[in-house]
Amino acid sequence: CNGGVWMPLSTATEVDDVAGTVTFADITDHGLDGQLVLTRDPACSALEFDGINDYVNCGNDSSLKPATALTVELWAYKSDWGDGVTGRLLSCTQTGGYNVSVSAANLYGVVRVGGAYRYGTWPLSQLSTGWHHVVLTSSGEITRFYVDGVLRDTEDIGGSHDITYDSDNSILIGAEAGGGDIPSDGYFAGRVDEVRIWSVVRSVQEIRESMHLVLEGNEAGLEGYWKLNEGTGLTATDAT
């Protein structure tokens, strides 16, 4: 800052959408030495779940249960992804619906299409300690599963079908949805941030461009958006 006017530090030499970093390689002209790397850290505003009884009820509005196109995405954190502790990151699976979950061996997403659950998985052994971005999409034909902005798994059933749901159960963050708005099990131990539910299939480019951004909440196709940045209280606000 010079005389009350902000001056540019340098031109970025690298922008990594997947890692969420911006690199400035030459900053010596500004009285600094070497390279500066700026990194977005989701931990600045996230919700921690105890794995015992913590969860967020997002309701069961029909807009959160799109039938023909779906994208769900979120950030999740565990200090040890290989600890063998299972849990639901986001769920409305009870005779239908979708979830993003941690099993003993895999991070996975599942959606009910054409009378069966369709899966995308990625081994926990491939995850480093800390934060990871997870996305599940379904077109009614192709299910795709992304981790950290990279397509990890695909299932193509060869024809288009509606995504089916239990009309009574709620969408829950941090637990397995039961037949209504009370969890049945699957409590997650860790942190979750930036939960988004879309009624469109987001492309890999769209996923990468927005995964490190805080959205306005009025983006086309965005049906539910929980920033989980309240800090205190018992209410998580839908920003749409």
Report the phi/psi class of residue 95: left, alpha or beta, with left for phi > 0 and alpha for psi in -120 to 50: left
CA 68 to chain centre: 20
179-206 pLDDT, tens digit per residue, is 788 898 999 999 999 999 999 999 999 9
d(CA 128, CA 158): 34
Which residues are within 8 A (CB) of 115 and not within 5 positions of it... i.e. 6 or more apart? Answer: 161, 164
d(CA 106, CA 101): 8
d(CA 127, CA 101): 14
25-54 pLDDT, tens digit per residue, is 665 555 555 555 555 555 457 999 999 999
Each residue's pLDDT tens digit in the chain (240 positions)?
333 444 455 555 665 655 556 666 665 555 555 555 555 555 457 999 999 999 999 999 999 999 999 999 999 999 999 999 999 999 999 889 999 999 999 999 999 999 999 999 999 999 999 999 999 999 999 999 999 999 999 999 999 999 999 988 999 999 998 878 889 899 999 999 999 999 999 999 999 999 999 999 999 999 999 999 988 888 999 999
Report the phi/psi class of residue 92: left, alpha or beta, with left for phi > 0 and alpha for psi in -120 to 50: alpha
Structure tokens at 39: 């990194």
Tell me if 169 sits within 8 A of 177, measured CB to CB. Answer: yes
CA 75 to chain centre: 4
Tell me if 224 sits within 8 A of 196, measured CB to CB. Answer: yes
CB atoms within 10 A of CB 27: 14
* Structure-derived torsion over alpha carbons of residues 147, 209, 172, 65, reported in degrees to the nearest 10: -110
pTM: 0.84
Please name which of 146, 160, 128 lies closest in space to residue 206, comparing C-alpha atoms. 146
Question: Cα angle vertex 128, ends 126, 134, to 5°?
Answer: 75
Structure tokens at 16: 């990594």
